[in-house]
Amino acid sequence: MKKLILFIGVFSVLSAFAAKPRNKYVRIQTVFGECIVKLYNETPLHRDNFLKLTKQGYFDGTLFHRVIKDFMIQGGDPDSRNAKPDVLLGNGGPKYTIPAEFRDSLFHKKGVLAAARDGDMVNPEKASSGSQFYLVQGKVFTDEQLNILEERRLKFKLPEWQRQVYKTIGGAPHLDQSYTVYGEIVVGLDMVDKIAALLTDDNNRPKEDVKMNITLLKKREARKLERTLEKDN
């Protein structure tokens, strides 16, 4: 009987562990440094699509083609690969979209990965681009600014704990529940700040091309990273 109880206990622990899938991590490399992004399990459609494209090398050699200081840096357009100077970019991508995966707990704090998309007029379901994404730089907000934003744009109240993040770390709260957030930078946030500071043309394209390569972290490397992050927290 004791052996049976012990077996059931071990099985329960293993089952609980298996029920919580490990996070996947990707490395984004540029001449301005690199960052590591954790993909959220809460947004499986976006996570799996991003992983698929990463494994295909889809993003390699493409540009961060749209950069707006205190807002975000955007990439993922395959047409940006080897694009000539002054060419307008941002219309490329696979011939599919991804259904929105809005989660109340996932919001546009500084450093998150989120999906670009077509505007509401042609895309009322707010479906995401099949490949284009952005990394949020954002800015710090005051209570007064957040109150105005809630009333005039969001039409809902931000949870107090999210307001605290926007008032300290910063972000882009006006995009909440309109664009799918599906990951966050856990190492190398300064890469975003460096790219966001670049000079751009009238189309917000950096005058200096910023190419990227994205790779999936191997299991051993991901586990080592998680242990480091746990110690730091």
| Strand arrangement, sheet containing 112-115 | 64-68, 72-75, 133-136, 112-115, 181-187, 33-39, 24-30, 213-216
CA count, 13 A, side-chain hemisphere, 213: 6
**Per-residue model confidence (pLDDT) at position 132:** 98
**17 within domain boundaries:** no
The 10 Å Cβ neighbour count of residue 212 is 22
Task: Domain of residue 81: give its range.
Answer: 24-232
Q: How many domains does the chain have?
A: 1
**Per-residue model confidence (pLDDT) at position 232:** 82
**14 within domain boundaries:** no
From residue 105, how far is each of 42, 177, 216 by CA, in Å? 9, 10, 25
**123 within domain boundaries:** yes
**Per-residue model confidence (pLDDT) at position 42:** 98
**5 within domain boundaries:** no
DSSP H or E segment with residue 193 = helix 190-196
**Per-residue model confidence (pLDDT) at position 21:** 64
Rg (CA), the chain: 19
**3 within domain boundaries:** no
pLDDT in tens, the chain (233 residues): 555 554 545 445 444 444 456 999 999 999 999 999 999 999 999 999 999 999 999 999 999 999 999 999 999 999 999 999 989 999 999 999 999 999 999 999 999 999 999 999 999 999 999 999 999 999 999 999 999 999 999 999 999 999 999 999 999 999 999 999 999 999 999 999 999 999 999 999 999 999 999 999 999 999 999 999 998 87
**16 within domain boundaries:** no
CATH number of domain containing 63: 2.40.100.10
**Per-residue model confidence (pLDDT) at position 193:** 98
**9 within domain boundaries:** no
**19 within domain boundaries:** no
**Per-residue model confidence (pLDDT) at position 9:** 53
The one-letter amino acid code at 18 reads A
Which pTM was predicted? 0.91
